[in-house]
Amino acid sequence: MMLSLENKHAVITGAASGIGRAVAVLFASQKAVVHAIDLNADALQSVQQEVVQNGGTIKTYSCDVTDQKQVHTIFNEIGVIDILVNSAGISHIGNADNTSTEDFERVFNVNVKGVYNCLHEAIPLMKQKKHGVILNLASIAGSIGLADRFAYSMSKGAVYSMTLSVAKDYISYGIRCNCISPARVHTPFVDGFLKKNYPGKEEEMFEKLSKSQPIGRMGTPPEIAQLILFLCSDEASFITGSDYPIDGGSIKLHN
């Protein structure tokens, strides 16, 4: 089977919703042993139920990725990691002069420190095996900048830089590290954002946001998950230190 992950242990953060959930479900369908990490324990149960109903193997862990002690405990419990997908992340709306210190630090702690904490714990386990694959979720915000996304763009630029550093530092250990940069993807976050900021105009604003991308729509979590699957599979064994935009033409085709 092409893109098979049979017998590979895959750790996925942010696995309870959106892109992370789609990755967990897809990886399980490709025979991976999925270790799903998220802060939301109730939502993790829903993911577990879906995977098990489809014959997959999954273990769930409620964890705050900003807490290195929690991450250490869970990764130590998992013990063997072939694949790490750093999907946990949050967004924020604001520019440099209206973003509070608290919001800036909150975004940094989840999107940057959270990735670091997982890298810090997974890489030693991969070094022991002299093999491993790491996939980080960056964003087009980290390379082209987005209006009113100052803290978020900062955090995703850091994810991109960490990806390059890890790829270079651990290539001799057989560890590959890449990232992907999605544009706007239709996740529960988008629905919550519209409900909070545009009550009564959700459909109108959803259409506007969709058409702001050259392809004329938002991406879907399963579409993003398919690219992640390829980059984490043995078929992508010659790829490391790369960022892959998956953006409906947003970088190259946007006027």
Where exactly are the structural domains of the chain? 9-183+220-246, 184-218
pLDDT at 254 over 80: no
Candidates 152, 170, 173, 244; catalytic one: 152
| pLDDT class of 193 with cuts at 50, 70, 90 | confident
Distance, CA of 187 to CA of 41 (rounded, Å): 18
For β-strands 83-86 and 9-13, DSSP reports them as parallel
In the residue annotation, 152 being an active-site residue is answered as yes
Distance, CA of 77 to CA of 38 (rounded, Å): 16
What's the mean pLDDT when you consider all of the chain? 96
Q: What is the pLDDT of residue 197?
A: 82
Average pLDDT over residues 148-161: 97
Q: What is the pLDDT of residue 255?
A: 55
Please report, rounded to a whole number, the percentage of residues in the chain having pLDDT higher than 90.
91
How close are the terminal C-alpha atoms of the chain, in Å? 41
Summarize pLDDT for 217-248 with one digit per residue, the tens. 999 999 999 999 999 999 999 999 999 999 99
Fold of 9-183+220-246: Rossmann fold (3.40.50)
Q: What is the pLDDT of residue 192?
A: 87
